[in-house]
Amino acid sequence: MVSAANLAFCEGLSMTLAKTANQSMVTVSGHEVELHKGGAGAPLLFLHGGGGFGTYDPTSGPLAERFTVYAPSLPGFFGTPRPEWLYSINDVAHFIQDLVRQLGLDDYVLMGHSVGGWVAAEMAAMDSHKLKGLVLVDAAGIRPEKGEITEIFMVSGDARLKLGFHDPTQVPNYDFFTAEKSPEESAMDHANMEMLSRLCWRPYLHNPSLPHYLSGVDTNTLVVWGKQDAIIPEECGEMYAKLLPNASLQSINNCGHRPQMEKPQEFNEIVTKFLDKLS
């Protein structure tokens, strides 16, 4: 059962990322994009993972205290329709580059989680000269040499939820993830997974060419990883840190695939320390 306090939190989070004044629609190359914006300061673009924002709202909290945070719904997810020509993560990266130009972002921080981290890495490889910093959080995109990326498409929603966290008892407001969903929310989850599988099925959650692109990205980069990530192994974080010339890896112990939700205090400390050095 969801407590009244946690239900209020869940409703408030949903409102924050979907229906409050910080949500708007912008047109990118003739296509509507749902965009969330909050905070003040230099620009930071945050790209969500395949499961969306969850209990992490980048447009408020520590990030928004330092930056103007832009958090779009990726094409094909939530309130952003998929353009007919968009079939791959590389396509998504080009699309979000168009969004960057539309917003007029310059000298900005690019941050992405999971599949959003993969998009961010592709974008940095395409054009990094406007980037002030890059933050990759348990990012997909690279195939491990020793381990494996776990199958998430052919399992139940409950199984995916268990894979996402190392220890649910330490996740603040975990009831958000176990609360009964409305028919509309269930339909949205199904549509998001359908889009994720369209983008990431073959090759599975990686781009074989990406490692060859990353050596040209000289942007200061922070790679953050949940050490017990059961979906994308820490080995991938180590590979990102080696492939990117100016990258460092910060692992969070006793933590899974969603460190910003499972260990928010430690995660925020690591990220803000890195971002403060960019000033």
pLDDT tens for 44-81 read 999 999 999 999 999 988 999 999 999 999 999 998 99
What was the pLDDT predicted at 4? Answer: 35
Name the phi and psi angles at 52, rounded to 5.
85, -160
pLDDT of 5 strictly over 60: no
> Among positive and negative, which fits the CA dihedral 35, 205, 63, 125?
negative
- Structural domain harbouring 47: 4-278
pLDDT tens for 208-267 read 999 999 999 999 999 999 999 999 999 999 999 999 999 999 999 999 999 999 999 999
What was the pLDDT predicted at 12? Answer: 38
Q: What is the pTM of this model?
A: 0.93
Q: What is the dihedral of CA 194, 199, 205, 206, to 10 degrees?
A: 180
Name the percent of the chain in helix, strand, coil, to the closest 5.
Answer: 40, 20, 40
Q: How many domains does the chain have?
A: 1
Q: If residue 219 lies in a helix (H) or strand (E), which one and from where to where?
A: none
Mean pLDDT of 149-163: 94
Residue 41, domain CATH: 3.40.50.1820
pLDDT of 39 strictly over 50: yes
pLDDT tens for 80-128 read 999 999 999 999 999 999 999 999 999 999 999 999 999 999 999 999 9
